Structure 1
Amino acid sequence: MSNEKPFDLVEIHNRLELLEGKLRHTIEKSCLNVVRQLENFQQLHSLIGDIPADLHGWPLSADVSLFLVRLVLQNRYSFIVEFGSGTSTYILLEALAKSSLRPSHASNSPIMLVYEHLSEYFQKTSILVEHCTSRKHCVLSLSPLESWSDATGNYFYYSKTDQIRTFATVLKRKRKFPLKKVLVLVDGPPGATGRWARYPALPIILDSLNGCRVSVDLVLDDTLRKDEQEVIAAWIDILKVHGFDYTLSTLPFEKGAALLSFSTFQ
């Protein structure tokens, strides 16, 4: 006598319907994302012109790229810091070039400081931005990861971050275009380098801007990941300890992103 359980055709049918529904939802979601990315890419193209690389599959998608361009066009940033180079570097430089054409931004000559820890990507980015109009305002640094720590733990983060304080000091002393608004893009290093890999960005920025009265817009990519969500929570704790006012905007992009805006005015 067989002990095998007989097939339950109703149960099999229900399971197949459930799988079909999940598959349909996944396909619809994927198609919708493709349409949105194409729309964002077209808008991006209309704002800054030709883009010499396919954004889909790069660390920075078309949606967050468009968001960054609009931030640059709307705000007179005097200083931009980018942790992790690539297509985003090109996009930011082209946005700066378009921004400088606006009458209200005519005297805008911001400094852009970019960090990249891998020689391969440093070379690729160097070639990518070689002919950008605003290239002369960009300092691209090959910055191997080095040990960094605070009360939360030990990390590996970009070296040469002392440059941030140096350039901030220069801008602070400028009368024509002083240090007032800062944009920080945190898109590196990769999560594979360790837990909370991007956490050091905010403490380093705060330390570098110590004594400066500025407004900061910090954009963090890949916030669909749990690690980045925990990093944001840790950053907010730091801002609260300093007594800085802040706003956090969750951006519904392909890989998730967040805008953390704060002022060092107390």
Structure 2
Amino acid sequence: MSCGVPAIAVGSKSYVGLVQPGTWQQAVYSNFGGVGNCQKDYSSSKVHQDMGKLLTSESYRARLGVFGVQIVQNFFDAQQVHEQLLSIYRLAIQSHSLNKGHDKEFDVIGADSLKSDNKKAEMMLDNQIEQLETKLLQASKDNADRFTRDLVIVQNRLYAQLESLSWLQRRLAIKGQLPPLRGWAASPDVLLRLHTHIMATRPRVVVEFGSGASTLVIADALRQNGSGRLISMEHSDYYGAQTLETLEAEQLQGWVGLRIGDLETWEGEHLNPEGAEKPSRWYAQSLFDDIEQVDLLWVDGPPGATCLFSRYPALPALADKLSPHAEVWLDDTIRQEEKDICERWAKDYGFTVEYYALEKGLGRLTRPGKSDVDSVDSSSGAPSRLEEDAESLFDFGGNDHEVG
């Protein structure tokens, strides 16, 4: 990682996968797979998926390489380690030189002179050893202090996610358990904010790009509200089937229109430069032709490896389908690409953007002058409820791609 090479963390106790913004905390905390559930976390499909991401995109590898260097610089001082090793090598060379023995054919004067030189060299060596010991002790103390600080940061972040997960579980009315919320999945803190916002603002139409745990959370909030409809776009048959199975287990499929279709070439405006390694792709336009008056647009797909600025088309594709007070939420804004997307959206479509310092970052775009009706106490998870009459469910027309 210190050389700018992407890393897949595989330890004796767990499989972390690609070390990237969504997994680096787990990697550091688990000692890059040295702590965990032994072989239970291993899966050949995970290895295949991670290797596929690395091999299909040179720019993606480059970005992960830069990120890895940043992790090493923040958590491990490579320069100090190199200097310490070089000092030890130098001392070993000098010591070896002193202990080699001397030419038997030297005269007395030469011997006396050599003894004097050896004495000086020994004194110099002792002094260097003492200085090295002092440096090693100080470096050890500095590294211990830095490790302690970094460990506290990681522990605080993990605690924040556990706290958010606890409040989220209290709010949800599901009977089963949530899907795993690590790796590529949305984090507990953003899901808690999403659930709280929906119950406070009572949107009639919610659209999400990228199904998963967020689909379950949004559907639960709509059911508790007694009104609203979620249209979920998914490009993967595999993940779409998982999402549908989860919804059916909780009897939430009636609140969701899950639309599955392959990504297609995107010909509209895009931040992905012409001639890029990967062409621009987006969900099929036919999946959302019948959607109108979207109150909340939640963007967490497609994967970042699809192409550069892969999520940019979300707003251009639905800009004319938003309600006057619609909000747009973009996950993963700890990545610069997502921040660039938010800034461009705000500039081109008249939104105000605000960033939330969540685990993976959240960009929230609102219309200027829109009142913030869902002020949330993140420690309690209690929203200020918006008093509105219940709205009837929107009944969208049949769609060959929709299930649920």
Q: Check the 8 A contact 2:355/2:362 in 1, yes or no.
A: yes
Q: Which protein is bigger by CA-based radius of gyration?
A: 2
- Give the corresponding residue for 2:281: 156
- Cα 1:213–1:60 shift into 2, 3 Å: closer
Contact kept? 1:223, 1:255, Cα under 8 Å = yes
Between the two proteins, what is the percent identity of the paired residues? 26
List gaps (5 residues or longer) in structure 1: 101-107, 169-178
Where does residue 220 of structure 2 map in the other structure?
94
Q: Does 1:196 align with 2:282?
A: no
Residue 208 of structure 2 is aligned to residue 45 of structure 1: no
**TM-score after normalising by structure 1:** 0.80
Pairing 1:146–2:230 present: no
For these two proteins, the number of residue pairs brought into alignment is: 234
> What's the C-alpha RMSD, in Å, of the aligned pairs?
2.3
Could you tell me the TM-score, scaled by structure 2's length? 0.54
**Which consecutive unaligned segments of at least 5 residues does structure 2 have?**
1-88, 92-127, 273-278, 371-404
The structure with the largest strand share of the pair is: 1
Structure with higher RCO (Cα < 8 A, 6+ apart):
1
Structure 2: how far apart are the matches of 1:18 and 1:148?
52
Which of 301, 312, 319 is matched with 1:206 structurally?
Answer: 319
Q: Give the deviation of 1:83 after TM superposition.
A: 0.4
**Shift of the alpha carbon at 1:200?**
0.8
Match of 2:361 in 1: 256
Distance 2:290 2:151 in 1: 50
What does residue 227 of structure 1 align with? 337
How far the C-alpha of 1:144 sits from its partner, in A, is 1.0
Q: Is the 8 A contact 2:271 2:309 kept in 1?
A: no
Stretch deviating more after TM superposition (195-204 or 227-236): 227-236
2:373 alignment partner in structure 1: none
Could you tell me which amino acid in structure 1 is paired with residue 290 of structure 2? T
Contact 2:222 2:229 in 1 (8 A): no
Q: Is the 8 A contact 2:167 2:192 kept in 1?
A: yes
Deviation at 1:198, TM superposition (A): 0.7
Mapped contact 1:250–1:259 kept (Cα < 8 A): yes
Distance 1:201 1:94 in 2: 24
Q: Structure 1 stretch 51-60 or stretch 137-146: which is displaced more?
A: 51-60
* Partner residue in 2 for 1:175: none
1:106-146 Cα shifts (integer Å, max 9, x gaps) = xx3x2311111111101101101114454223111112111
Q: Secondary structure at the residue paired with 1:129?
A: helix
Moved more, 117-126 or 213-222: 213-222
Provide the residue aligned with 1:83 in structure 2. Answer: 209
**CA gap 1:27/1:41 in 2 versus in 1, 3 angstroms:** same
Deviation at 1:11, TM superposition (A): 3.0
